[in-house]
Amino acid sequence: MLSKAQTAQLLPHEAPMIFIDQGVEMGADFAVSVTTLDETHFAAVNGEIPAYIGMEMMAQTVALWGGYRDQLAGVKPTGGFLLGTRRYQTEVDHLPTNRPLYTRVKEDLVGHNGLSSFCCEIRAEDQLICSARINVFKPTDEDE
């Protein structure tokens, strides 16, 4: 498990825009993060976290995985771009608060042009909260 500080270093975000607490597990084509939200979170509306915030948690877990891979390759972690989503489905109107939410992302399609697609899900214990396929773009040095 990555510490909160290690997690923050791998993300191209700064507080308060970091929506994940820690990286839990990293693999060759997947990552798992954990987040515990509460009703005081800046994204809360009347004390509840809208389910669409899950999309950002998924995107940041993808960014965490990308930063981790960059670090393993000996390069400074760089950001990418969320291009869009397909089939973002939620089982709830609001994300659960005050309990750990586990976001799992798995790269399932990768192009040589920096485009990738990830299958993502957020769970609270064994309960599926939301799922999606997200598309991202990570520029290479040649794109700059």
The two tokens of residue 50 are 């809208």
pLDDT digits (tens, 9 = 90+) for 66-112: 999 999 999 888 888 999 998 899 999 999 999 999 999 999 999 88
> What architecture (CATH level 2) is domain 4-143?
Roll (3.10)
DSSP states of 69-137: HHHHTTS-----EEEEEEEEEESSSEE--SS-EEEEEEEEEE-TTSEEEEEEEEEETTEEEEEEEEEEE
With CA atoms as reference, report the closest residue to 131 among 140, 139, 120, 141: 120
Domain regions of the chain by residue span: 4-143
pLDDT digits (tens, 9 = 90+) for 24-71: 999 999 999 999 999 998 899 998 999 999 999 999 999 999 999 999
What is the pTM for the complete model shown? Answer: 0.92
The two tokens of residue 117 are 């697609």
More confident position, 142 or 25: 25
pLDDT of 13:
82
